[in-house]
Copies of this chain bind each other. A is one copy, B any other.
Amino acid sequence: MADAPVDISALRRALMVPEAGGFCSFEGWVRETNEGQTVSGIDYNAFVPLALTEGQAIVQEVKQRFAICRATAMHRTGYLPVGETAVWIGVSAAHRDAAFSACRYIIDEIKQRVPIWKKEHYASGEVGWVPCHTL
């Protein structure tokens, strides 16, 4: 959980181990439109202590479920304009299948379980809490 921009290249470097042959990463960016409305930015509100616990639990789960070397996840809080990176996930593994599967698992679980909420700010000046994930 980070309330300021994070050095992604340092997160990536920490996943580099000699046994790793594949690396999969996912980034969630603030998108310009949602449900037909023009978005100017998103305010991420998080219950930080529980978000950290859940995030660490998810990373432990992927280490048990998939043949990976290392995994990291980062989520921003606060207001982010369109184009900013809100979430970053990186997984290194000996082979690509585990890297892709674990990376996908982490983002899916974050979206299901980690107490973070998006308040969208629209170009119209209105704001709104995103009710739930549509995709």
Instruction: Bits for A12-40, please: 1 = Cβ < 8 Å to B, else 0.
Output: 00001011111111111111110000000
Residue A95 at the B interface, CB < 8 A?
yes
CB distance A20 to B26 under 8 Å? no
- By DSSP majority rule, is chain A's interface helix, strand, loop, or mixed? mixed
Assess A22 versus B33: contact at CB under 8 Å? Given A97-B135, A100-B100, A135-B97. no
CB-nearest residue of chain B to A108? B96
CB-nearest residue of chain B to A39? B18
Instruction: Give the number of times this chain occurs in the complex, counting copies.
Output: 2
Inter-chain contacts of A32 with B (CB < 8 A) = 18-19
Inter-chain contacts of A33 with B (CB < 8 A) = 18-19
Please tell me the number of chain A residues within 8 Å of chain B, measured between CB atoms: 31
How many Å from the CB of A122 to the closest CB on chain B?
Answer: 14
Instruction: Bits for A99-110, please: 1 = Cβ < 8 Å to B, else 0.
Output: 110011001000
CB distance B16 to A22 under 8 Å? no
Residue A82 at the B interface, CB < 8 A?
yes
CB-nearest residue of chain B to A111? B96
Inter-chain contacts of A26 with B (CB < 8 A) = 22-25, 96, 99-100
